[in-house]
Amino acid sequence: MNRGAPLKRTGFRPRAPRREQRDPDRVRSMPAVTPGAFRAPQPVVAATAAAPKSTAQRNAHLRDMARGMPCLLRVPGVCTQDRATVVCCHSNLSIHGKAGARKADDHYSVWGCAACHQWLDQGPAPRAQKAAAFMAAHLAQVLEWRAIAFDSRSQPRDRAAAEWALERLNATATISMN
């Protein structure tokens, strides 16, 4: 492939050659070894297989249930309480399965309006404040799921999705007859 015009020079200067390249006859001095500074080599341990990644726990109906519900995040000064924009907001905490591009599991989510969701994911608030807001909302979310799971008037799919989340959170309510 022939180039029509020569490459233009940039304003950057080329790097200076390394010290070893400048003076090949120069001998590097070794640091002095003090008594007791030498450690015996450690035995080589056979590499173990990495632990398998956990599979994401997803429930599409649980996510779909958020539409039209009230915002549970209710961030002061941010929340619009617009039920038309409410979506399922996943936790950003690593203890809930969030890692890199992997979302937290669906049972670690809350209903939140678009403004609160944006604040939770990209807002300028400190991480600790966001974590506290999410955990408070998640407590309210668990109570909502319990109400759905134990309401006989709820749709069967809604009840099944709420029970799915509660089982994974170990938050199923047991009714005692004492």
Number of Cβ within 10 Å of residue 172's Cβ equals 14
Nearest to 69 by CA among 145, 167, 166: 145
Residue type, 33: V
Instruction: Answer whether 74's CB lies under 8 Å from 102's CB.
Output: no
- Report pLDDT digits (tens) over 76-86: 999 999 999 99
Locate the domains of the chain by residue range: 60-168
- Report pLDDT digits (tens) over 146-178: 999 999 999 999 999 999 999 999 987 665 445
Report pLDDT for 64.
Answer: 96
* Residue-averaged pLDDT of the chain: 84
Q: Where residue 11 falls among pLDDT bands split at 50, 70, 90?
A: confident
- Report pLDDT digits (tens) over 37-63: 666 666 766 666 666 777 889 999 999
Instruction: Answer whether 96's CB lies under 8 Å from 168's CB.
Output: no
Higher-confidence position of 12 and 139: 139
Q: In the Cβ-directed half-sphere of 90, how many Cα atoms lie within 13 Å?
A: 20
Report pLDDT for 10.
Answer: 73
Measure Cα distances from 66 to 20, 44, 62, 84, 150 in Å.
65, 53, 7, 10, 18
Q: Where residue 6 falls among pLDDT bands split at 50, 70, 90?
A: confident
Select, from the ranges 27-31, 91-95, 106-110, the one with the highest average predicted confidence (pLDDT). 106-110
Query: Does pTM surpass 0.85?
Result: no
